[in-house]
């Protein structure tokens, strides 16, 4: 019996090896499983950040031109002070500011003559920098308002009593996930939870789902489309050996896709932490949230999710008679599989005995529970057991559907019907 099992495993390995070779030589597989997570993700994020930084730099070298209506300037000292400290704004002298604004010689005119009741900030909508100026002036007016408020309170209460009004007490503010925590802890927990949910699950689920589609199509659907199913059937091995071997190859490629994605994420994280000091600080704090046990737990959930996704696409690929049909079904499933992790981000969704039965979503909620230290043993066991059971069922169905009652019988029926 033991020899039989070893022989079977060896056969599965041979089939998986062949499928990996066959899949890896397919352009679709290479693009969606390797290149998209490897290149597109870092390139898109890095180029977006570079563009943002470039725009920031551009704004400093070519500041927004602003002029005051002279009569009201002394009535808005806080805004004048804030604007003066902003590198992105250059204050310009103008005899007729409204005319200059119309002529696009200015991007913004500030009229403080109605202050403190009303301050008019005028912009030219036909200017190519209209949106940028609007956002900038909005943020500056918030700062000016805060400064005015602080000055007003200082006048009444004295400078040394003001600081407490603008600071938040950070000690003993309650618990999160049943654990005593300071506000700072809570912020880090929230941040690291968001990282797990959005970066890890949201994006990784999308990547592994996309990464699983084409290997599954190459391993299963192609056999029907390229008439190799009968060839495969002639192999003197059990039918299940072939299907399990194919599934193993699809799973390996899906995991690979996920790992490549992690590498990309690591690269992007390193890139951003080198550029942005606040992110480096936040990531360092967030990493303290993860113990080795937590990481292993999340990794186990990743493996279970990958197996489930691979089995879903193996079933779709076994059912479809052509690439086109498989692609159409895959698109619908892709939406469902990637939306479920996003649902976990909504308020009120936690792992309980009901949500533990919702496939994929339960895996994300498990991950959420792990990083917030609110793991329920029963719910976690139910979620993992259900995921394994669904994977096994889908794999069994893949085998039944892939081979059918009699391989090639449908073709035979068809040709017989046309005789």
Partner 1 sequence: MGLEAINLTKRFFDAKRGEFNAVQSVSFACHKGEIFGLLGPNGAGKTTTLRMITTILKPTSGTAKINDFDVTTNPRQVRKQLGFVSADTGLYERLTPREILTYFGKLSKYPKEKLTERIAEVTSMLQMESFLDSRCEKLSTGMKQKVSIARAIVHDPPVIIMDEPTTGLDVLTSQVLHRFILQCKEMNKCVVFSSHIMSEAEKLCDRMAIIHKGQVLASGTLEELRAESGMHYLEDIFLNVVKEDDIVEA
Q: Give me the residues that bind partner 1 (CB under 8 A), please.
A: 11, 14-15, 18, 21-22, 25-26, 226-228, 230-231, 233-238, 406-409, 411-413, 415-417, 419
Give all strands of the β-sheet with 120-123 in edge-to-edge order: 89-91, 64-68, 108-111, 120-123
Q: Which residues neighbour 79 within 8 Å (Cβ) at sequence distance 6 or greater? A: 110, 112, 119, 140, 141, 144
- Tabulate helix, strand, coil % of the chain (nearest 5): 75, 5, 20
CB of 234 to partner 1, least distance (A): 6
Distance CA 419, CA 414 (A): 9
Helix (H) or strand (E) holding 359: none
Measured from the CB atom, the residue of 26 and 100 that comes closer to partner 1 is: 26
CB of 188 to partner 1, least distance (A): 49
Residue 358 phi/psi, 5-degree rounding, is -90, 110
Measured from the CB atom, the residue of 14 and 390 that comes closer to partner 1 is: 14
CB of 233 to partner 1, least distance (A): 6
Measured from the CB atom, the residue of 20 and 137 that comes closer to partner 1 is: 20
CB of 298 to partner 1, least distance (A): 35
Measured from the CB atom, the residue of 84 and 419 that comes closer to partner 1 is: 419
10 Å CB burial of residue 414 (0-12, 13-18, 19+) is exposed
Measured from the CB atom, the residue of 88 and 239 that comes closer to partner 1 is: 239
Measured from the CB atom, the residue of 222 and 386 that comes closer to partner 1 is: 222
CB of 412 to partner 1, least distance (A): 7
Distance CA 82, CA 121 (A): 14
Measured from the CB atom, the residue of 181 and 256 that comes closer to partner 1 is: 256
Helix (H) or strand (E) holding 279: helix 277-287
CB of 26 to partner 1, least distance (A): 6
Measured from the CB atom, the residue of 56 and 413 that comes closer to partner 1 is: 413
Measured from the CB atom, the residue of 241 and 264 that comes closer to partner 1 is: 241
CB of 241 to partner 1, least distance (A): 9
Question: Strand, coil or helix: what is 108?
Answer: strand
Distance CA 258, CA 38 (A): 10
Q: Which residues neighbour 274 within 8 Å (Cβ) at sequence distance 6 or greater? A: 280
Instruction: Give the N- to C-terminal CA distance of the chain in Å, as an integer.
Output: 48
CB of 227 to partner 1, least distance (A): 4
CB of 248 to partner 1, least distance (A): 15
- Which DSSP category does 63 fall into? P
Distance CA 362, CA 379 (A): 9
Q: Dihedral of CA 256/259/263/264: which sign?
A: positive
Measured from the CB atom, the residue of 52 and 411 that comes closer to partner 1 is: 411
CB atoms within 10 A of CB 401: 17
Half-sphere exposure of 259 toward its Cβ, with a 13 Å CA cutoff?
A: 7
CB of 235 to partner 1, least distance (A): 5
Measured from the CB atom, the residue of 27 and 156 that comes closer to partner 1 is: 27
Distance CA 327, CA 210 (A): 11
Q: Which residues neighbour 247 within 8 Å (Cβ) at sequence distance 6 or greater? A: 310, 311, 314, 395, 398
Distance CA 73, CA 113 (A): 7
CB of 261 to partner 1, least distance (A): 25
């Amino acid at each position: 019996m033991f020899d039989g099992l070893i022989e079977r495993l060896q056969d599965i390995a041979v089939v998986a090896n062949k499928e990996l070779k066959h899949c890896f030589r397919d352009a679709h597989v290479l693009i969606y499983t390797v290149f998209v997570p490897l290149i597109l993700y870092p390139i898109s994020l890095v180029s977006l950040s570079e563009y943002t930084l470039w725009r920031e730099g551009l704004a400093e070298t070519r500041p927004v031109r602003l002029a005051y209506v002279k009569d009201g300037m002394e009535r808005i000292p806080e805004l004048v002070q804030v604007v003066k400290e902003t590198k992105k704004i250059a204050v310009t002298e103008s005899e007729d500011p409204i005319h200059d604004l119309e002529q696009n010689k200015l991007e913004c005119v500030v009229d403080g003559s109605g202050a403190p009741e009303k301050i008019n900030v005028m912009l030219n909508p036909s200017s190519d920098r209209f949106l940028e100026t609007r956002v900038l002036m909005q943020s500056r007016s918030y700062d000016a308002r805060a400064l005015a408020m602080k000055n007003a309170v200082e006048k009444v209460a004295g400078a040394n009593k003001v600081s407490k009004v603008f600071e938040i007490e950070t000690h003993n503010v309650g618990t999160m996930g049943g654990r005593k925590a300071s506000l700072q802890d809570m912020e880090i927990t929230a941040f690291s939870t968001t990282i797990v949910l959005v970066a890890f699950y949201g994006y990784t689920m999308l990547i592994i789902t996309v990464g699983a589609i084409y290997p599954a199509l190459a391993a299963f659907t192609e056999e029907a489309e390229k008439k190799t199913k009968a060839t495969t059937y002639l192999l003197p091995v059990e039918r299940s050996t072939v299907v399990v071997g194919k599934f193993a190859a699809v799973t390996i490629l899906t995991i690979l896709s996920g790992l490549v994605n992690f590498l990309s994420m690591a690269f992007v994280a390193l890139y951003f932490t080198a550029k942005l000091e606040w992110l480096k600080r936040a990531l360092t704090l967030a990493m303290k949230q993860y113990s080795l046990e937590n990481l292993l737990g999340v990794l186990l959930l990743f493996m279970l999710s990958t197996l489930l996704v691979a089995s879903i696409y193996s079933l779709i690929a076994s059912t479809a008679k052509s690439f086109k049909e498989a692609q159409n079904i895959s698109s619908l499933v892709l939406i469902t599989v990637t939306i479920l992790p996003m649902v976990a981000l909504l308020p009120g969704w936690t792992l309980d005995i009901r949500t533990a039965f919702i496939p994929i979503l339960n895996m994300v909620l498990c991950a959420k529970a792990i990083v917030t230290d609110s793991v329920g043993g029963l719910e976690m066991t139910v979620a993992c057991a259900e995921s394994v059971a669904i994977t096994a069922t889908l794999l069994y169905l893949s085998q039944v559907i892939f081979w059918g009652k009699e391989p090639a019988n449908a073709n035979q029926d068809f040709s017989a019907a046309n005789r």
